[in-house]
Amino acid sequence: MNLGFLGLQFSFGLQQANPIFAYLGADEKDFPWLGIAGPLTGLIVQPIIGVMSDRTMSRMGRRTPYFLIGALMCSAGLFLMPFAQSLLMAFSILFLLDVGNNVTMEPYRAYVSDRLREEQRGFGFLSQSGFTGLAQCLAYASPFLLVSLFGVSKVAEPGVIPDYTRLAFFIGAVLSITTILWSILRVPELPLTEAEKVRIAALPKGFAPTFAEIFSAIREMPNAMRTMAWMSLFQWYAMCCYWAYRVPSISMALFGTSDGSTAQFREADLLSGPMGAFYNAVAFVAAFSMAPISRRFGAGRVHATCLMLTGLAMIAMPAMNSEPPMWLLMGVMGLGWGSIMGNPYIILANAIPAERTGVYMGIFNMMICAPMLVFAGTMTFIYEPVLGGDPRNALAFGGVLMLCAAMAVVRMTGKGGSDSKQVVAAV
């Protein structure tokens, strides 16, 4: 069921692992807003697709049509990206790619709740997290493997995307469509009951009812879900710091430069590939291992511990000036990433009504995209005056915010009030 998630997350991994904008000559302070396509499209697309998929009745099912549309758009964006010859062209293609990713992403989250019983959902979401780790492991490793095993040249002219990056995106284009098709064919959706068909048929259709449903769901959002907003703000802002400044930070730490046109930067990029693959491999293993642990001790408690360790790793990483300790810290990052992509969804799935699974999964994604937009709107302005124009400081700043996310989870799980039992039960 989750194999299609591998193709989808391979696409996201390629965006994170390959500094396309740096290769095309962008300034470091502009990285945040150049990457705005993902959070902006997610903020808009996922809630709308959530409502539409909740209300869709077709021969293929509720979620499947959106899997297919998104996969085709994603594959097209991945195929076109290597041909980008300017920042504007890459920026535009990224919007096509991320709209496709987000059209597919939300139905996949809802699909787990549709197919699995309540007691199975913890393993379902953590296995989805595991496939995220595996996909991004392969995405991060692909440039390094193409160079080291297949002899693809690592030399590139200034302002030109290297050949190893081009080939990695072509591979992603094939994976995206084939893995999603495999999932659809192997695990078709469960047929709707007659009662569900009657309920869906009675719901109003069109854009106005769609937006009305989104706003209604926000007003009636369970308190257990509301309490997750601060956690999401801190953890996703921190992850944006990591994604945007990981390669420049490694380049500065090891080679003393973060200039995207230099040979040293390309060396750092190729080194960061295996490191990123390692952290995602750890996430893959951790996600599956975490299922019984989260069931025993609670997803909230486990998530808070993982976030705390991840924050400490991000603070320590910029101080490293050799490879071995960086590998160790990357492993800790993988533990946190495996938790981020699984445990919050366990908390969420058991706190929302089944008939609104799609729209609430979409709204929860707004809690992911909004911090990314905040990052894009603020980091450009604080990067030089506050963080000294040093990518290592941006990475450490993200670590501090990750510790804040851990504290938010601790407060969330201990929150009192009329809905405290629901929060604790969900965790």
Per-residue pLDDT tens over the stretch 49-59: 888 888 888 88
- Comparing C-alpha atoms, which of 178, 209, 166 is closest to residue 72? 178
| Separation CA 86–CA 159 (nearest Å) | 8
SS (H, E, C) 42-56: HHHHHHHHHHHHHCC
Per-residue pLDDT at 399: 95
Model confidence pLDDT, tens digit, residues 286-302: 887 887 888 788 888 89
Q: Are 169 and 78 in contact (CB under 8 A)?
A: yes
Per-residue pLDDT at 422: 38
Residue 27 DSSP label? -
Measure the CA angle with vertex 75, ends 136 and 270; round to 5°. 40
DSSP letters along 355-390, please? GGHHHHHHHHHHHHHHHHHHHHHHHHHHTTTTTTT-
Per-residue pLDDT at 424: 36
Model confidence pLDDT, tens digit, residues 368-400: 888 988 998 898 889 889 999 889 999 999 999
Model confidence pLDDT, tens digit, residues 128-176: 778 887 888 888 888 888 888 888 887 777 778 888 888 999 999 999 8
Measure the CA angle with vertex 293, ends 292 and 297; round to 5°. 120
Burial of 219 (0-12, 13-18, 19+ CB in 10 A): exposed
Burial of 95 (0-12, 13-18, 19+ CB in 10 A): middle
What are the residues whose beta carbons fall under 8 Å from the beta carbon of 80, sequence distance 6 or more?
93, 96
Mean model confidence pLDDT for the chain: 83
| Separation CA 174–CA 78 (nearest Å) | 9
Q: Which of these ranges, 12-16, 257-261, 263-267, 412-416, has the smallest mean pLDDT?
A: 412-416
Q: Can you tell me which residue has the tokens 């987000």?
A: 102
Identify the residue with better confidence: 228 or 303.
303
Judge whether residue 218 has pLDDT over 90: no
DSSP letters along 214-231, please? HHHHHHT--HHHHTTHHH
| Separation CA 210–CA 127 (nearest Å) | 31
Q: CA dist 186 to 71, 108, 232, Å?
A: 16, 15, 33
Per-residue pLDDT at 419: 36
CA atoms within 13 A on the CB side of 325: 13
| Separation CA 152–CA 131 (nearest Å) | 27
Average pLDDT over every residue of 393-409: 94
